[in-house]
């Protein structure tokens, strides 16, 4: 039985992961902004076999609220076996280009708040000397593309932070996995002109995340073919890359 903390627990990918853990009798501490959706998620997980579900309403960008959340989580669970950070937004790149406040707010949501949570959680995991920190980054962080470079910059920061954190926590028996989804069919991507052949369901992504955690993978591209796609994209020379509309 796993004791699982999920931040951004009402997102499609997080919910799909939680359902897999619930089927094995997991105990949960779920964190999200929307109290109604949290309640709905809790009832769903209980119906799927979750041992217990604790709820905590919090905006992840409110960094001052993080310590109280973690304290409540530790009181409820006693120990965290898996922490999944799954919150984030998909910004309007054009809006970010023309409005500094929007750009910084989106970077805070997708980058700064994640790093703040990881810093706090890392210290707790270091005390435990066990457990897994799983962080949803994105393939967008592998290279800056004109269509979403604000989002990609935030995700690149998260991925690099995770790489250093992984090396630090490995020495005390704690694992850090960076999850890099490609295009996923979620409410966040609804309406976007995404290629159907590359569009994954949240359930597919969740299965790979859970398997990656179990196998102690360092980085998990999901679906797996994105590892090859991004390898090709990273290898495109800058002189050519800057002329592409990606």
* Residue 151 among the catalytic residues: yes
Structure tokens at 153: 């910059």
Q: How far apart are CA 228 and CA 147, in angstroms?
A: 20
The Cα 82–Cα 124 span in angstroms is 12
Tally the C-alpha atoms within 13 A of residue 13's C-alpha that lie toward its C-beta: 31
Whether 43 and 97 have beta carbons less than 8 Å apart is answered as no
Per-residue b or e along 122-151, where b marks 16 or more CB atoms closer than 10 Å to that residue's CB:
bebbeeeeebbbbbbbbbbbbbebeebbbb
Q: What is the CA radius of gyration of the chain?
A: 18
Sign of the alpha-carbon dihedral angle for 182, 187, 192, 198: positive
Extract the tokens encoding 198. 């590359």
Alpha-carbon separation of residue 62 from 30, 82, 104, 168, 209 (angstroms): 16, 22, 14, 26, 26
Residues catalogued as catalytic: 151
């Amino acid at each position: 039985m796993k004791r699982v903390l999920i931040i951004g627990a009402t997102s499609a990918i997080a919910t799909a992961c939680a359902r897999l853990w619930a089927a094995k009798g997991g105990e949960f501490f779920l964190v999200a902004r929307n109290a109604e959706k949290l309640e709905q998620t809790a009832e769903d997980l209980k119906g799927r076999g979750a041992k217990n579900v604790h709820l905590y309403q919090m905006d992840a960008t409110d960094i001052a609220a993080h310590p109280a959340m973690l304290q409540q989580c530790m009181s409820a669970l006693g120990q965290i076996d898996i922490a999944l950070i799954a919150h984030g937004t998909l910004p309007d790149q054009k809006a970010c280009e023309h409005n500094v406040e929007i750009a910084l707010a989106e970077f805070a949501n997708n980058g700064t708040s994640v790093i703040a949570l990881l810093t706090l959680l890392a210290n707790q995991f270091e005390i435990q000397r066990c457990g897994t920190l799983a962080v949803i980054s994105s393939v967008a962080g592998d290279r800056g593309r004109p269509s979403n470079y604000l989002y990609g910059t935030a995700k690149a920061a998260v991925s690099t932070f995770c790489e250093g954190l992984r090396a630090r926590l490995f020495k005390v028996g704690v694992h850090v996995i960076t999850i890099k989804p490609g295009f996923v069919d979620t409410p966040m991507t609804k309406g976007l002109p995404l290629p159907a052949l590359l569009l994954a369901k949240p359930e597919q992504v969740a299965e790979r995340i859970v398997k990656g955690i179990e196998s102690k993978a360092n980085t998990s591209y999901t679906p797996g073919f994105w590892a090859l796609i991004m390898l090709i994209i990273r290898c495109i020379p800058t002189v050519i890359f800057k002329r592409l509309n990606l």
